[in-house]
A and B are shown apart, each in its own frame.
Chain A
Amino acid sequence: MMPTAIIDTVGVLSTAGALFIVSAGLTLVFGAMRLINIAHGSFYMYGAFLLTTIAGAGTGLRFWLAVVAATIVVALIGAAVELVIMRRVYDSEHLTQLIATFGLFLIFADLALHFWGDNSRTANPPAAFAGQVAIGGAVFPAYDLVVIAAAVAVGLGLWVLLQRSGLGWRIRAAVEDPETLQAGGTNLPLLRTGMFTMGALLAGLSGAIVAPQVAVAPGMDSSIVVAAFIVAIIGGLGSVPGAALGALIIGAAETIGTIVAPTWASSFIYLAMIAVLVARPSGLLGIPERRQ
């Protein structure tokens, strides 16, 4: 009993960790720009595809460098998208923004088919974490620990950035009152470009990190963006701790659901989200949106 519990816990944490990284990016962009980015899933998929391309069969240093390179490339794509398109629609209606990112989503999906074809790809985990780990009789993939560590590092990094730095102060102020902030001398467009780039970076990092665990294939953009929405909404759009909480809830619901009622597991997730939103329309840790 005990070993299964450990395996399950590690599995939940690993699933939740990857979900947290990608959802944190989504929620940050929403918090800073009030923008729902459907193309966030594309960034995640590109992170995974780029990793398989750059890492190749490498399992040593090359793998880690590939994670970094894939993440940076995706961040650069994000920056370009922001500069060329997104900054033109910040003042538009929600519908316009949604449609712009939906258009990007379709374009990225098509281009991915050109670059990588429609076959499923796999990446090898790094040699140091390729095997199994045994803790108290429980055996689980060592690579799960890498994902968990990455999620913890991202979480701590974001907390320091947002709560303990001057830049974080500006980011939070940009959510509250962008005009006053700009009048105070902050370069708002630059800040927004930075936030959007960071969102893309987190999506790319998450995709690159999970690549050894999943089948990297077209369509993962669509499923992850829905999952990330759910996580971010349950936790409260705009809240990074909320994304962590939401990721844990979804990770647990998925794992438990798969054990209890496999055919209903994925439905549970949506029911959980609907239940949370009915009880707390702004999510668990979200702040109710003020009337504008």
Chain B
Amino acid sequence: MTVARQVLQAVARAAAGARRVRASQPGGALAPPAARATGLAGVAAVLVAFGFLLGASSLLTLEEAVGLALFAVATNLLVGYAGLVSFGQAAFYGLGAYTVALSWQHYNWPFWLTFTLAPVLGGAAAFLVGLVALRARFLYFALLTLAFSQLFYEIAENQYHFTSGANGVFGPMVPSALAQPRAGYFFVLAVVAACLAILWKVTASSFGLTLRAIRENRARAEALGINVFRQELIAFVISGVFCSLAGTLFVVYSQSAYPELLDWQQSGYAVFMVVIGGMFTFLGPALGAVIYTVGQQFLISRTADWQLILGAVLLLIVLFRPDGLAGLADSAARWLAQRVPAVMRRGAPGSKAPPRVAPVASASEGEPQHAARVPGDERE
């Protein structure tokens, strides 16, 4: 096990199990709940203010970013929390978009009906895909999910008479009220906020802890009597539900659905957002989605090379910051929090702040959780 991985795990514990870390490290670096609530409220206020201040085109970009944030966070329920690297979440994202678009095109169903139908279909599809894909592990799982999403893609591309093929479906499929940029933005913002609140509850529940236990040590989780397959299937279905819902939001701001939504590269971009934002924090992927969308808009208007920059960013993160930008911000905050009290208490004997990241000499593959306990824990 490499140092990078130890650091990663330590950060994971700090970020994901904030409550436990706070309990074991009084005066820890993580922001107290009150500060975090203030921060969240601030972000929400800024996002609402943008809704009134920004022009139509910037608003659409932000709307897309907010919608993709849900896609990224839902993907991260698998990638970050459950340790299931899916390269096929675009299947459910595209399914949500196509549910709205095709129901409108063929049956003229109202948006509100299909908007509620899409997550149900997404969950059902995820259940079926998960039944098969979760039999495989690691790379085989990634490739099986990729294959399923390509299957959806080929169907959308080739069943021309029903899906309109590569052209996709375009048209006024969203209620005219939502088609206004401002109303549409607030609608997307409200839906995403509600969904993120639900997903936060899910990750903070005992189910979320179980997922993390499975990720950390599958064998031990099994030995404890956890039905690993069942828990992973539940996570897969939940992710499918919310990815599908994110797909319906795509229709709200684009009034269209086309096969590229189902392509494996779309899944890759979701993983990109997760990685760039930080997979070991709840909102990291949302940050990644905003950076991705705004960055793409910014770059596309200035250079044709946004893919080059995207790829370079991925490489840099992988090589130097595997915990993403949220991890970077986290260590910066931790560094500050460690410096400030140290400076203030300078001179007092034995007041040296304990190391925040476990300096573990060696941790066996078998028990990363306990072997990597912070020695400072006992001292405090």
Contact = CB atoms under 8 A, between A and B. Distances in A.
A105 B322 contact: no
A278 interface: yes
**Size band of the interface chain A makes with B:** 35 or more
Contacts of B157: 266
Contacts of B275: 95, 99
A110 B307 contact: yes
Given A36-B142, A85-B319, A105-B311, A110 B136 contact: no
B304 interface: yes
A271 B151 contact: yes
B147 A96 contact: no
Given A107-B307, A110-B307, A100 B140 contact: no
A108 B308 CA distance: 8
A180 B87 CA distance: 34
A100 B318 contact: yes
Given A92-B322, A96-B322, A273-B147, A107 B139 contact: no
Interface stretch (B97-105, B263-271, B370-378): B263-271
A38 B265 CA distance: 11
B159 interface: yes
A149 interface: no
Given A36-B139, A100-B318, A103-B312, A230 B271 contact: no
A291 to B, nearest CB: 8
Contacts of A77: none
B380 interface: no
Interface string B127-169: 0000010011111101110111011001101111000000000
Contacts of A111: 308
B76 to A, nearest CB: 11
Contacts of A93: 5
A263 B159 contact: yes
Contact of A103 (B140, B159, B305, B311): B311
Interface in A89-132: 89, 91-96, 98-100, 102-111, 113
A164 interface: no
A106 B310 contact: yes
A103 B318 contact: yes
Interface string B262-283: 0111001001100100000000
Contacts of B146: 226, 229
Nearest to A222: B265
Contacts of A226: 146, 150, 264
A229 B155 contact: no
A95 B79 contact: yes
B173 interface: no
A256 interface: no
B140 A113 contact: no
Given A36-B143, A92-B322, A230-B147, A107 B154 contact: no
Contacts of A264: 158
Given A91-B2, A109-B307, A102 B147 contact: no
Contacts of A230: 147
B53 interface: no
Contact of A102 (B312, B314, B322, B365): B314
B151 A98 contact: no
Nearest to B144: A277
Contacts of A34: 139
Nearest to A35: B139
A28 to B, nearest CB: 15
Residue from A95, A111, A281 whose CB has the most chain B CB atoms within 10 Å: A95
B45 interface: no
Contacts of A104: 311, 315
A98 to B, nearest CB: 7
Contacts of A222: 263-265
Contacts of A100: 314-315, 318-319
Contacts of A281: 135-136, 140
Contacts of B317: 99
A96 B311 CA distance: 13
B150 A94 contact: no
B365 A292 contact: yes
B371 to A, nearest CB: 17
A145 B157 CA distance: 32
A163 interface: no
A100 B148 CA distance: 23
Contacts of B85: 94-95, 98
B360 interface: no
Nearest to A114: B305
Nearest to A100: B318
B318 A89 contact: yes
Given A36-B139, A85-B319, A281-B136, A113 B304 contact: yes
A270 B151 contact: yes
Given A92-B2, A277-B136, A278-B135, 6 more contacts: A100-B315, A102-B311, A110-B306, A237-B140, A267-B155, A274-B147
The 7 closest A-B pairs by CB, nearest first: A103-B314, A106-B311, A107-B311, A110-B308, A270-B151, A110-B307, A103-B311
11 contacts: A94-B85, A94-B142, A95-B85, A100-B315, A104-B315, A226-B146, A229-B147, A267-B155, A270-B150, A270-B151, A278-B135
Interface of B: 2, 4-5, 79, 85, 87, 132, 135-140, 142-144, 146-148, 150-151, 154-155, 157-160, 263-265, 268, 271-272, 275, 304-308, 310-315, 317-319, 322, 365
